[in-house]
Amino acid sequence: MMADPYGLDPAGTPRGPEDRDPTTPAFLADIQQWSTPFLMGPINTRVVRRSHALLGQPWGTAFSYQERMAVGGGLAGRMRATAITAGLGALMVAAKQPGLRGLLASRLPAGDGPDEDKRESGFFRHLLVAEGPSGRLVGRVIGHKDPGYAATAIMLGQSALCLAFDQDESPDCAGVLTPASALGRALLRRLRDEGMTWSIEDWPEGAVPRP
């Protein structure tokens, strides 16, 4: 079930085109960069697909969504993508072996993480390529703090505030939900107020979108 791209979809939901998560380097022609499988992709993509299912599949049963990490173009980008993919694969294999899993855990003690300066100076940047019958669009999500600690804390806090104060703006639903299906645009507004950028642009004519 953990390997199923649609493992979080409600029972009976029509399946989309994905049959597995990316496991190899790939050249992304849309942005002219090499890419690797993204460590958080197997989690994020399932949440997006569950949102799509819970919202009634607004983009149709052929909706496809994947996440990859861009690492640059040319030969250097290809070598970087190959090395990172090999490292991720080795990490996944080691995590499945009891002896090696214990060694990995000992290297990552509980309570360890970036200090305040690193949390405040960190950032993340997502470039979304959306393609449909009417053409392509570019989406951007940008955060100005460390994604794993500072930005996640902001997202959790603003989600709690949505649940407490934004019922009138939130979708009328209940159950095991996702941020998009439970909180909708109320959460988007709150995250923008906290400094995150969410934008949609037309595809640049005769060019690739800037990173």
With contact defined as beta carbons under 8 Å apart, do 159 and 194 qualify? no
Q: Given its phi and psi angles, is residue 184 left (phi above 0), alpha (psi -120 to 50 degrees) or beta?
A: left
Domain that holds residue 152: 113-206
Decide if 211 is inside a domain.
no
Decide if 141 is inside a domain.
yes
**From CA 46, how far away is CA 38, in angstroms rounded?**
13
pLDDT top residue among 109 and 209: 209
What is the tens place of the pLDDT at every residue in 40-88? 999 999 999 999 999 999 999 999 999 999 999 999 999 999 999 999 9
**From CA 155, how far away is CA 179, in angstroms rounded?**
10
The pLDDT value recorded for residue 166 is: 93
Paired residues of 131 in beta bridges? 136
> Are 104 and 6 contained in the same domain?
yes
Q: Is the four-CA dihedral 88, 7, 183, 185 of positive or negative sign? A: positive
Q: What total number of domains does the chain contain?
A: 2
What is the tens place of the pLDDT at every residue in 156-201? 999 999 999 998 888 888 899 999 999 999 999 999 999 999 999 9
